[in-house]
């Protein structure tokens, strides 16, 4: 099903090809070269996670998304159905809308979507309609996801457009944001 699944600790480089932080604190508190633990996240996923944090800060479920075209971020958004009183105001939908407005067209051919959580059925549908070329998502969502779970939208024979799908980058960070958010609300 996946074009590629990245594992935490797998060799990843960011868009500049550089390892930015040279040292990281290990579980035992010892500073070790970052490359010995894991490679840094690509910038778009880092931005999607920043957006997810913004959502959490405003009391929304922490999910963030960015749209990239030709290596440039053209739209970024966070989940805000509560603030907008709009059940469709998921991060992916808002990012796709903003990207389409920025480009002045209704299709996003050649664009990639980076999102912190596996898209739901509505967002997967929007991704199809937008003709997004590649989808990168961090954490899987067994309950609400519709890419590798539930409706498996892109795998349906009636699906008009199938993006390439990559998952797992930033999984630990994205899942921890969600866990922390729901923990505080219990």
Instruction: Kindly state the smallest distance separating residue 27's Cβ from Zn ion, in Å.
Output: 34
Instruction: Choose between 78 and 90: whose C-beta lies nearer to Zn ion.
Output: 90
Catalytic residue, from 23, 25, 60, 92: name it.
92
123 binds Zn ion (CB under 5 A): yes
When asked if residue 78 is in the footprint of Zn ion (CB under 5 A), the reply is: no
User: What gap in Å lies between CA 89 and CA 167, rounded to an integer?
Assistant: 22
In the bound complex, what is the minimum distance in angstroms from residue 29's beta carbon to Zn ion? Answer: 39
Residue 103 and residue 74 in contact, taking contact as beta carbons nearer than 8 Å: yes
Residue 164 is among the residues annotated as catalytic for this protein:
no
Task: Considering only the C-alpha atoms of the chain, give the largest distance between any 2 of them, rounded to a whole number of Å.
Answer: 53
What is the rounded CA–CA span in Å between residue 107 and residue 163? 13
Task: Please give, one letter per residue, the 3-state secondary structure of 30-48.
Answer: CEEEHHHCCCCCCHHHHHH
The site map against Zn ion for 83-122 (x = CB under 5 A) is: -------x-----------------------------x--
Beta carbons of 110 and 138 less than 8 angstroms apart: no
User: Residues with catalytic annotation?
Assistant: 92
Rule CB under 5 A: which residues touch Zn ion?
Answer: 90, 120, 123
């Amino acid at each position: 099903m996946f074009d590629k699944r990245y594992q935490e600790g797998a060799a990843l480089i960011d868009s500049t090809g550089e390892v930015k932080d040279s040292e990281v604190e290990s579980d035992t508190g010892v500073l070790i070269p970052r490359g010995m633990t894991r490679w840094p996240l690509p910038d778009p996923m880092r931005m999607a996670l920043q957006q997810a944090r913004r959502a959490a800060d405003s009391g929304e479920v922490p999910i963030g998304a960015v749209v990239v075209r030709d290596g440039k971020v053209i739209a970024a958004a966070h989940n805000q159905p509560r603030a907008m009183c709009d059940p469709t105001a998921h991060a992916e939908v808002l990012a796709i809308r903003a990207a389409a407005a920025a480009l002045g067209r209704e299709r996003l051919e050649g664009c990639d979507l980076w999102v912190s959580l596996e898209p739901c059925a509505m967002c997967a549908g929007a991704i199809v309609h937008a003709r997004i070329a590649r989808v990168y998502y961090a954490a899987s969502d067994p309950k609400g996801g519709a890419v590798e779970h539930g409706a498996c939208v892109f795998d349906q024979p009636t699906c008009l457009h199938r993006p390439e799908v990559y998952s797992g980058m930033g999984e630990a960070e994205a899942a921890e944001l969600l866990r922390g958010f729901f923990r505080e609300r219990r």
